[in-house]
Structure 1
Amino acid sequence: MKISVILKETKETRFSLEVFPPKTGVSERIPIQRHLSNIFETVEHLIKYNPIFVSVTYNPEGKTKTTSIPLAAIIKQKYNVEAVAHLTCISTPREELSKTLDVIDYFDIENILALRGDLPDSSLPRGELRHASDLVEEITKHEKGFCIGVACYPEGHPECVTEEGERDLEKDLLHFKAKVDKGADFAITQLFFDNNVFFSFVKKARDIGVKVPIIPGIMPIRSYNMVNIVKRLGNISMPYSLVKKLEDNRDNKAEIMEIGVEQAIKQCRGLMNKVPCIHFYTMDRWMSVDRILKELS
């Protein structure tokens, strides 16, 4: 079933999950098996909360490219839940993209999250798709009639900056609208830690004509390293009070996880009944999300 249809029929806030397949080589059987075990364990523990969908990440390089779509199909069949296959366009020729869409269709997956993907070190070959909006447009041409999701950035994409190096939020909003105008049916936000940032972003998107459902993305903090990750991303703000708590407990892993769970519960409570769905970036770890959903339910 298409995610857009489910979201339209949803009368109360539900949730969804993201998992990611292993990037190690097929010959390294033990690491792959362990990683796959984490994925299935995550879904098995959280399926009781009736997620709308499980999205499976995709990397055009290495083995993830060949495992993510079949994995999405297995999750859909094994757990009777809709699967969303991530798909990136950077460095992907149109002919190869067409074949990949045929594979997704073959596995009876109706939903795709269309992403640009990380830029390679070298310059792109001529003729390749450069933006997620280009990918959305290509997907709409496929006879399957996929439901298409896209990413959006409440605090702006890190690469969308002015000549002075400042975030260009207005320009990034227009990029988001371009993806919707070319056929996107729903959107999932990058993680954020301040609900006001999300609500402000949604209002601005609505003001320029974006009407598709916008699903907030939540990533429970599991370690102090999350602070460093946020700093490296450069486009995600973290409330000072939260940073202070994390810094005061940087060597206490159990307390860090507790802070992360409390923060996510607080955010989710503020989002409940205001959005059709909350998307959890699980990092293939189920315990924090399980505690959050148990508290919310």
Structure 2
Amino acid sequence: MSSTFPNRVTEMLGVEIPIVQAPMGWIARAQLASAVSNAGGMGIIETSSGELDAVRIEIEKMADLTDKPFGVNIAQAFVRDPDIVRFVIDQGVEFVTTSAGNPTKYTSTLKEAGLTVFHVVPTLHGALKAFEAGVDGLVVEGGEGGGFKNPRDVALMVLLPLIASKVDVPIIAAGGMVDGRSMAAALALGAEGVQMGTRMVSAAESPVHENWKTSIVEAAETDTVFLNRHTSPALRALRTERSEALELDTETNAMTALVGSTLDLYFGGDMNASLALTGQVAGRIESVESVADIIATCARECRARLDELAGTYGGA
């Protein structure tokens, strides 16, 4: 395997380009993940939906769709099966991300089984705890990203260099990652790879309804809302009539909006049936593109931007 980004992330993950696809529930399945892996990045299969029988089938599909590496995510707050670690190990994957929970819970068992483990962290405290637990790397997630968040959100521009200055493990930057310019910025701040969520939700191979993709393309940078500051987890979602009604609500747990009706939005296209978990970077997405084009363009533009900066400032 050769890489135009030779670093610890590409070496550990066995990928050509250090772009990881976020593990969105029901979305991060074989259709999308295989496209990411085939394009040189790291596709991830989710388990947060709790539908492990379906997830097992999706992982089996991956063998027919790609011969490239892929991983699995364990979102601890949504684990329903106490044997989730054995489930993941039995799938034969070599890379796992853990999130939404204590990094000491699964890290040692996964590493003893030979897996590479990255833990998702939204704070320096969480990063230090994961480092002490022995993780191989971190996914550092800024509050501008979509999905489940820390109620005390910190922007990636602050969080990433802070954590990079305190721990010496490979870092994948998440939140606001969409193109070569943002990827180059993440590398400059101390990351060795990036994770894309909203950009992958809007991709051609994403299984979500076209209404959601269209809403992302049409969104302004101000068209997301941050919900549940009064409880946990907090959420960042696309601004809709449903989500806007919860934006300043300090009593209702916005998680209730996800119960029972999520799939009506995801795959039925009813944008007010639930919450469309989406990051602020929707304001920078202007079209639906294939995963292959997204990753290739991002890598090419990142290299060009880094070369341009080196040419401008290298002799200073």
- TM-score bracket, normalised by the shorter chain, equals 0.5 to 0.7
| Residue of structure 2 aligned with 1:277, choices 187, 193, 199 | 193
Q: Which amino acid aligns with 1:139?
A: T
Task: Select the structure with the greater relative contact order (CA < 8 A; seq sep ≥ 6).
Answer: 1
Please state if 1:139 is matched with 2:139.
Answer: no
User: In structure 2, what is the Cα distance between the partners aligned to 1:189 and 1:218?
Assistant: 8
Aligned AA (1:276): E
- Other-structure match for 1:103: 87
Partner residue, 1:216: 173
Query: Which residue is equivalent to 1:59?
Result: 48
TM-score, with structure 2 as normaliser: 0.50
Deviations along 1:188-234, one digit per CA (max 9) or x if unpaired, are 2325669x9535423322443x11111112567xxxxxxxxxxxxxx
For residue 211 of structure 1, what is the amino acid of its counterpart? D
Conserved in 1, the CA contact under 8 Å of 2:172 and 2:194? yes
CA distance in 1, matches of 2:14, 2:129: 26
Identity in percent: 8
Q: How has the CA–CA distance of structure 1 residues 92 and 293 changed in structure 2, closer, same or farther, with 3 Å as cutoff?
A: closer
Q: Is the 8 A contact 2:85 2:106 kept in 1?
A: no
| Structure 1 residue ranges without an equivalent (≥5) | 23-34, 117-130, 154-171, 221-262
In the TM superposition, residue 108 of structure 1 has moved relative to its aligned partner by 0.8
Unaligned runs of 5+ in 2: 2-6, 146-153, 205-287, 301-316
For these two proteins, the number of residue pairs brought into alignment is 199
* Counterpart residue number, 1:266: 181
CA distance in 2, matches of 1:148, 1:57: 15
> How many Å separate the matches in 2 of 1:81 and 1:188?
21
Match for 1:49 among 16, 24, 39? Answer: 39
Alignment RMSD: 4.0
Give the Cα–Cα distance (whole angstroms) in 1 for the partners of residues 127 and 173 of structure 2: 15
Distance change >3 Å, CA 204–CA 44, structure 1 → 2: closer
**CA distance, structure 2, for counterparts of residue 19 and residue 133 of structure 1:** 17
CA shift at 1:67, angstroms?
2.4
Contact kept? 1:15, 1:279, Cα under 8 Å: yes
- For the pair 1:72 / 2:29, whether they are aligned, the reply is no
- Cα distance in structure 1, aligned partners of 2:16 and 2:191: 8
Cα distance in 2 between the residues matched to 1:6 and 1:267:
18
Q: TM-score, normalised by structure 1?
A: 0.52
- Matched residue type, 1:182: A
Q: CA deviation at 1:173?
A: 1.1
**Structure 2 counterparts to residues 1-297 of structure 1, below 5 A:** 6-7=10-11, 14-18=18-22, 20=24, 22=26, 39-43=29-33, 45-51=35-41, 53-59=42-48, 61=50, 63=51, 65-75=52-62, 78-90=65-77, 96-97=81-82, 99-116=83-100, 131-137=101-107, 139-140=109-110, 143-153=112-122, 172-190=123-141, 197-198=155-156, 200-208=158-166, 210-218=167-175, 264-271=179-186, 275-281=191-197, 282-283=200-201, 285-286=203-204, 287-288=288-289, 289-296=291-298, 297=300
Relative to its length, the structure with more helix (as a share) is: 1
Distance in 1, matches of 2:47 and 2:143, equals 22
Look up the SS of the partner of 1:216 in the other structure: strand
Contact 1:18 1:283 in 2 (8 A): no
| Matched residue SS, 1:102 | helix
Note the alpha carbon deviations across 1:62-89, whole angstroms, 9 max, x for none: x2x3323442353256311222211133
